[in-house]
């Protein structure tokens, strides 16, 4: 069976996240999702996530297309995570295009098109203005 691994924060879960995960799952037959810890998110996005790691892991692991989740503690550990989870394919959104090509020695690396105009930041701004 073909094991697919992807990574993300998945804060304030939205349809862009769902579409990415559904298409990631179609790249193989077992989908494993590395979810950024609160700390890692803080360093990437310069703000605290709305939902904490436990909540984000619970939401993502509840999806039909997701088989397994784990906490991603550092961007530097990607190679280790891919080996540990025996990834056949690494999937990322195309906002990361080219950034993970270095792992093509251990798995296929595929970048999928993002859903336009949807983001956690846009959603937070929308709620703020209600
Ligand atoms: N995504 C998408 N369409 C959107 C928004 C997000 O396809 N409109 C995808 C992103 O490309 C990513 C996934 O959904 O593949 C998760 O998005 P984020 O939570 O923003 O992920 P990010 O914080 O970029 O984490 O190690 C890499 C990072 O952990 C990736």
What is the value of ipTM here, to two decimals? 0.94
Do the Cβ atoms of 34 and 71 come closer than 8 Å? yes
**What does the block give as tokens for 67?**
């088989």
Ligand 1 environment, Cβ below 6 A? 7-10, 16-17, 20, 36, 44, 72, 75, 92-93, 95, 114-115, 118-119
The pLDDT tens digits of the residues spanning 78-106 come to 999 999 999 999 999 999 999 999 999 99
Q: Smallest Cα–Cα separation from 91: which of 80, 74, 104?
A: 104
Q: 106: CA distance to ligand 1 center in Å?
A: 22
pLDDT(3) > 90:
yes
pTM exceeds 0.90, yes or no: yes
């Amino acid at each position: 069976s073909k094991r697919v691994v992807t990574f993300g924060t998945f804060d304030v879960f939205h349809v862009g996240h769902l579409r990415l995960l559904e298409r990631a799952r179609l790249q193989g037959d077992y989908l494993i999702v590395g979810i950024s810890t609160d700390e890692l998110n803080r360093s990437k996005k310069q703000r605290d996530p709305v939902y904490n790691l436990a909540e984000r892991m619970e939401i993502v692991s509840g999806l039909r297309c997701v088989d397994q989740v784990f906490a991603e503690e550092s961007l530097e550990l990607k190679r280790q995570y891919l080996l540990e989870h025996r990834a056949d394919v690494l999937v990322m959104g195309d906002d990361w295009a080219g950034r993970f090509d270095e792992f093509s020695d251990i798995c296929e690396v595929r970048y999928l098109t993002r859903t336009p105009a949807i983001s956690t930041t846009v959603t937070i701004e929308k709620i703020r203005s209600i």
